[in-house]
């Protein structure tokens, strides 16, 4: 049943920013939820079904709270607030997963799973972020690590990936070892440069305070007073994963990210990520956040593609189970 309610905000200038240029932010919410939003002065009138009005109300309040803290909002933030409101996280859940204020941008969760992930990153010594591409697993891990580093909570950032060849031969690539493996590590550089100023990152790398290296380079080390991230962990073998997890030293935190369905190992059963996930439940100080296609925050098509692959995989599993019963 359609009905009407009015939200009143204290600051007209912030209300204008909330609505966006030519009410673009309000139009995004209208199109997503099928509600009507009319802004006048510091008020917004909501017309529509109760459930849709609830989502719109929570999203607007969440976005206004960000503006009150001096954080700008864009279309992607509006979409994120809508995801959070759908999961009941827009005001309560997001509030317990505080925004990360970094030199180049302020980062807030854009889905219920991201809010859960950010809470766990701030509360646990070892966190697994597991799910499809585009859900923010690596980006949020790097952003959280950069924030801890800039606050002086740790002395180093150590970011790593397995240098799995994925159908190519490293030996045939030009250059020395660094030039050969850097392309595999590029996404980690990109995430750092997106949240910190480039010259600052480069100085910290030169000083050895930020290290980006292949997984194989971690062997034999104790990583103390650092935030340590292993990305694309589905490409680590069981032995490599055990080696990496046991590098954790005093005053350090560790984040493991990956997608078990996307391993490039010849035998997927040897994936260290899947193996570790089966062992860690119940260990104090360890937390796991699982993302799905609903949490994809890249282009809309990425979410659709991930859901299509997931649906096909479910169908295959169901068919295999039916055949096993015969």
120 and 227 share one domain: yes
265 and 218 share one domain: yes
Tens-place pLDDT, residues 137-166:
999 999 999 999 999 999 999 999 887 654
Tens-place pLDDT, residues 226-261:
999 999 999 999 999 999 999 999 999 999 999 988
16 and 43 share one domain: yes
Domain that holds residue 7: 2-95
285 and 146 share one domain: yes
Structural domain includes residue 147: yes
164 and 127 share one domain: yes
> Which of 12-16, 277-281, 312-316 has the least mean pLDDT?
312-316
For the chain, give the mean pLDDT.
Answer: 86
Strands (E), the chain: 2-8, 36-40, 43-49, 100-101, 106-107, 126-130, 156-161, 210-214, 226-230, 253-258, 286-290
Cβ neighbours, 10 Å, residue 1: 5
- Rounded mean pLDDT, 285-293: 93
202 and 267 share one domain: yes
Residue 17's pLDDT band, with cuts at 50, 70 and 90, is very high
Structural domain includes residue 248: yes
116 and 222 share one domain: yes
User: Count of domains in the chain?
Assistant: 2
Structural domain includes residue 325: no
CA angle 25, 59, 36 (to 5 degrees): 60
Whether pLDDT at 95 is above 90: no
Structural domain includes residue 256: yes
> Which of 136-150, 165-179, 262-276, 285-299 has the least mean pLDDT?
165-179
Which pLDDT score is estimated for 88? 64
Cβ neighbours, 10 Å, residue 283: 9
Which pLDDT score is estimated for 111? 85
């Amino acid at each position: 049943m359609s009905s009407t309610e009015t939200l009143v905000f204290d600051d007209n200038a912030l209300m204008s920013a909330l609505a966006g240029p030519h009410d673009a932010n309000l139009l995004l919410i209208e199109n997503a939820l099928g509600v009507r939003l009319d802004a006048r002065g510091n008020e917004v009138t909501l017309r529509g079904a109760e459930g849709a009005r609830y989502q719109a109300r929570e999203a607007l309040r969440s976005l206004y709270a960000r503006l009150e803290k001096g954080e700008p909002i864009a279309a992607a933030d509006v979409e994120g607030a809508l995801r959070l409101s759908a999961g009941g996280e827009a005001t309560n859940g997001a509030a317990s997963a505080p925004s990360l204020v970094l030199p180049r941008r302020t980062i807030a969760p854009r889905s219920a799973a991201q809010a859960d992930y950010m809470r766990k990153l701030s509360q646990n010594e070892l966190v697994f972020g597991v799910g499809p591409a585009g859900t923010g697993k690596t980006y949020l891990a790097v952003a959280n690590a950069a924030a801890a580093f800039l606050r002086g909570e740790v002395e180093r950032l150590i970011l790593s990936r397995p240098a799995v060849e994925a159908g190519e031969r490293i030996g045939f690539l030009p250059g020395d070892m660094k030039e050969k493996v850097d392309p595999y590590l590029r996404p980690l550089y990109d995430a750092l440069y997106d949240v910190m100023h480039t010259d600052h990152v480069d100085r910290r790398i030169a000083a050895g305070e930020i290290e980006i290296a292949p997984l194989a380079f971690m062997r034999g080390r104790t990583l103390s007073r650092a935030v340590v991230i292993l990305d694309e962990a589905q490409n680590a073998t069981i032995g490599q994963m055990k080696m990496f997890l046991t590098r954790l030293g005093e005053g350090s935190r560790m984040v493991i990210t990956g997608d078990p369905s996307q391993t490039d190992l010849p035998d997927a059963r040897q994936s260290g990520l899947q193996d570790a996930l089966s062992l860690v439940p119940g260990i104090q100080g360890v937390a796991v956040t699982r993302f799905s296609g609903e949490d994809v925050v890249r282009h809309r098509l990425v979410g659709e593609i991930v859901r299509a692959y997931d649906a096909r995989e479910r169908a295959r599993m169901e068919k295999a189970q039916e055949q096993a019963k015969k």
